[in-house]
Structure 1
Amino acid sequence: MRPCLTAFVGLSCALLAACSDGPSEDADRVREGQRVYAKECAACHGARGEGAGPMSLQLDVVPPDLAGLKQRNDGYFPREFVSRFVMGQLAKDDPASPMPDFFAVGLRHVYPNGGADGEVLETDFANLLDYLEAIQW
Structure 2
Amino acid sequence: MNLHSFIFASACAASLSACTPASIDAADAKKRGQLVYAKECSQCHGTRGEGGGPASLGLGVAPPELIGLKQRNDGYFPREFVSRFVMGLLEKEDPDSPMPDFASVGLRHVYPKGGADGEVLEADFEDLLDYLESIQE
Q: Does 1:47 align with 2:47?
A: yes
Provide the aligned C-alpha RMSD in A: 2.1
Once residues 35 and 97 of structure 1 are traced to their aligned partners in structure 2, the CA distance between those partners, rounded to angstroms, is 24
Report % sequence identity.
Answer: 71
Displaced runs of 4 or more, over 3 A: 16-19, 117-120
- State the TM-score, normalized to the length of structure 2: 0.84
Give the match for residue 128 of structure 1.
Answer: 128
> Unaligned 5+ residue runs, structure 1?
1-12
> Unaligned 5+ residue runs, structure 2?
1-12
Alpha-carbon distance change, 119 to 92 in structure 1, aligned in 2, over 3 angstroms: closer
Count how many residue pairs are aligned between Structure 1 and Structure 2.
124
| Structure with the higher fraction of residues in helix conformation | 1
- State the TM-score, normalized to the length of structure 1: 0.84
Q: Does 1:80 align with 2:80?
A: yes
Give the match for residue 23 of structure 1.
Answer: 23
Once residues 107 and 66 of structure 1 are traced to their aligned partners in structure 2, the CA distance between those partners, rounded to angstroms, is 19
- Offset of residue 120 of structure 1: 6.7
Once residues 116 and 23 of structure 2 are traced to their aligned partners in structure 1, the CA distance between those partners, rounded to angstroms, is 27
- Secondary structure in 1 matching 2:32: helix
